[in-house]
Structure 1
Amino acid sequence: MRLPEDVILKEVGPRDGLQNEKVFISTEDKVEWINQLSESGLSYIEVSSFVHPKWIPALSDADEVFSKITRQPGVTYSALVPNAKGTERALKANVDEFAVFMSASDTHNRKNINKSIEETFPVLEEVADEGRKAGKKVRGYVSTVFGCPYDGKVAVSEVKKVCDRLFSMGVYEISLGDTIGIANPKQVDEVLRELVNDFDADRFALHFHDTRGLALANTLAGLNAGITTFDGSTGGLGGCPYAKGASGNAASEDLIFMFEEMGINTGIDFNKFLKAASFIEKALGKPLPGRQLKLLEGRT
């Protein structure tokens, strides 16, 4: 087994975790949560999304959240930026890094952003160009890499095509998403072996969902394949509204615990992170699925 000395955990809970929540979390609570996350040792927090508020009401206060958070040195504060209007808002909010998003399967892409894959590229290229002109790094998300709720299996060749186009427009890193939590460790290994034949492993991150309880196992397969950047969401918040049953991102605190127990440094204070997780759980008013959070609170 090939294990790195260090990994990077990118916290996506404030955006990916909250975007589908039916309960609107107050701006004040979002700001407090993000501030607590900032003090935990995280180096990257995805704060919100500049998608039109009518599409994601839960994140309609993105501008205000960015204006109120206390930014810590060494922490990157990113946001999802979907189009030209979102770019204007993101630049005004002084977002540190842009994130662009699309799918590897055409049907999911149409369901999610109402465009074909080919129609999506020019929109994202404009966002990436404007972001880079303003000195912003641009990160990419590719969903349905390991399977699509509509198209079934997704050929690695299709994933490669999407990655190649995103890299060509200046995206520095692509987060490969298991949108419906369908991946298994053998598949993860096989997909990554093919991708790293064409692209450097350090240009990829992994974004797993725990729908079937395999997120940690798949993370281990990713580590063994040379990936050292992983997305996580506080408490296991999140899911995909266009993929039935795909609730629950990999819980950040579960990832932190696993990495640290394996002797892999995250740079994150586990207890401070759990405090932030408890805070947002109380704000949501419901138990979150993260295992470490359950242990902390004596839940089963």
Structure 2
Amino acid sequence: MSEERTRPAMSEEPTVTLPDDVRIREIAPRLTFQDHLVPTEVKTELVRRLLDAGVRAFELSSFVRPDLVPGLADAAEVFARVPRVPGLTLGCCVGNARGLARAVDAGADTASFLLSVDEDFARANTGRPTTESLAELERMAAFAADHDIVLGTYLIFAWGGPTGPARSGADLEPLARRLLDIGVDHWILADSVGYAAPPQIRELVTAALAHVPADHLTVQIHDGRGMGLAALLPLLELGVRGIDTSLAGSGGHPAMPGTHGGGLCTEDAVQLLELAGVRTGIDLARLIDAANWLTEEVGAPGKGFVRHTGPVPAPGRPGKPLAFTW
């Protein structure tokens, strides 16, 4: 007589509510052109194409030492030339109080201090250790309080790198407390070399959210190891709506020559979000056109899939035929 086996009841999947929309901030105007020297006209043309695609948030440039980042020496001119449209938010990077003052004069809405969690990169990027950077940030916070600008900070290599081991949420705690003491509670967590899979994304972002509200947190993934798109849904589940991406996955850094430093590909991210029912307000077809223009005009290496294969077909939008070899 065979023994009857009782099949265990299947547990129900937890219900996850995704936000209705997100704020995609395009960082290619800063990330790509800090590594590729191009005329100012090319930079402003890129922004115009992105505006036509519906992008309304940018990290436009950096007000930093031109000897360290010569590609962004025209930051003020770029700010002056960008068309102002309704809903536009223009951000920048700054390395010291002088750069913050220049950002205010240029009309930046937000400025993000370049704070590296990795000591070696901190010295290569800004010429000073992290402890000195925090002292500078404290002086800048006092300046920003008297001016019409939101001062936040990067946490570059928040998940680890560029060559060292991964970092955990516990590793973030001392720096998080110091930033709050200074009075800076708008943070950009940057996975600068693509260390994080979804479990690591959840752990570090959860640790950050214990200190700052979700609407003060932006996450910037650099897709160096092919895990960038996988980070999007965990971020949405945690309530993070500020996501930095880079057109065509382009980008690099003069302090890390020969290393692909591109951000998560904007057009791939927009497609995934829209298919997940999350609005971005961005026209994917125009975005793809802008990505192709960028890689051809600048010669910047571009990653990504959707601009090569075409978007997933939708009503009124036929798919792009693929050639298969069997």
TM-score by length of 1: 0.90
Q: How does 1:122-141 map to 2 (within 5 A)?
A: 122-141=135-154
Residue of structure 2 aligned with 1:5, choices 20, 23, 26: 20
Q: Secondary structure at the match of 1:230?
A: strand
Instruction: Indicate if the aligned counterparts of 1:17 and 1:249 stay in contact, CA closer than 8 A.
Output: no
- Maintained 8 Å contact 1:137/1:172: no
CA contact (8 A) 1:180 1:240 kept: no
Out of 308, 311, 315, the residue aligned to residue 294 of structure 1 is 308
Paired with 2:83 and 2:71, the residues of 1 have a C-alpha distance of 21
The CA deviation string for residues 132-185 of structure 1, in whole angstroms up to 9 with x for no partner, is 321111232111111122432334333233233334444342111111111111
Cα distance between partner residues in 2 of 1:41 and 1:77: 14
The residue number in structure 2 matching 1:67 is 80
Deviates more, 1:131-140 or 1:28-37: 131-140
Cα distance in 2 for partners of 1:73, 1:285 equals 31
Residue 164 of structure 2 is matched in structure 1 by 151
Show the 5 A alignment for 1:106-185: 106-185=119-198
Q: Which amino acid aligns with 2:124?
A: K
State the match for 1:279 in structure 2: 293
Does residue 216 of the first structure (1) align with residue 229 of the second (2)?
yes
SS in 2 for 1:140: strand
Q: CA deviation at 1:294?
A: 2.2
Q: Residue 299 and residue 123 in structure 1: after superposition, are their counterparts in 2 closer, same or farther (change >3 A)? A: farther
Q: d(CA) in 1 for partners of 2:23 and 2:194?
A: 21
Aligned mates of 2:68, 2:322 — CA distance in 1: 34
CA distance in 2, matches of 1:81, 1:154: 25
- Judged with a 3 Å threshold, the aligned counterparts in structure 2 of structure 1 residues 163 and 242 are, in CA distance, closer, same or farther, namely farther
Matched residue, 1:260? 274
Corresponding residue of 1:226? 239
Structure 1 stretch displaced more, 174-183 or 128-137: 128-137
Cα distance in structure 2, aligned partners of 1:212 and 1:78: 27
Greater per-residue helix proportion: 1
Stretch deviating more after TM superposition (7-16 or 270-279): 270-279
Letter in 2 for 1:250: L
Q: 1:20 aligns with which of 35, 43, 48?
A: 35
Q: Which has the larger radius of gyration?
A: 2
Alpha-carbon distance in 2 for matches of 1:172, 1:204? 8
User: For residues 139 and 198 of structure 1, what CA distance do their matches in structure 2 show?
Assistant: 14
> 8 Å contact 1:42–1:267 — kept in the other structure?
yes
Matched AA of 1:173: H
* Over 6 Å off, 4+ runs: 297-300
Which residue number in structure 2 is paired with residue 91 of structure 1?
Answer: 104
| Rounded Cα–Cα distance in structure 1 between residues aligned with 2:132 and 2:171 | 15
Helix, strand or coil: the match of 2:35? Answer: coil
What is the root-mean-square deviation of aligned Cα atoms in Å? Answer: 2.3
Contact 1:256 1:270 in 2 (8 A): yes
Alpha-carbon offset, residue 275 of structure 1 = 2.6
- Unmatched runs of 5 consecutive residues or more in structure 2: 1-15, 311-319
Partners in 2 of 1:72 and 1:291 — Cα distance? 30
Q: Classify the secondary structure of the residue corresponding to 2:145.
A: helix
1:77, CA displacement in angstroms?
1.1
Consecutive unaligned residues of structure 1, counting only runs of 5 or more, are none
Q: What TM-score, normalized by structure 2, do the two folds share?
A: 0.83
Q: 2-side partners of 1:194 and 1:67: how far apart?
A: 38
What is the SS of the residue equivalent to 1:103? coil
- Match of 2:61, SS state, is strand
Q: Contact between 2:166 and 2:195, CA under 8 Å: does it hold in 1?
A: no
Give me the whole-angstrom Cα distance separating, in 2, the residues matched to 1:49 and 1:71.
19
Deviates more, 1:165-174 or 1:255-264: 165-174
Deviation at 1:246, TM superposition (A): 4.4
User: Residue 31 of structure 2 contacts residue 262 of structure 2 at CA under 8 Å; is this kept in 1?
Assistant: no
| Count of aligned pairs between the two proteins | 298
- Map of 2:10 onto structure 1: none
**CA drift at 1:111:** 3.0
1:180–1:245 Cα contact (<8 Å) kept: no
Classify 1:154/1:194 alpha carbon distance in 2 versus 1 (closer, same or farther; 3 Å): same
Partner in structure 2 of residue 205 of structure 1: 218
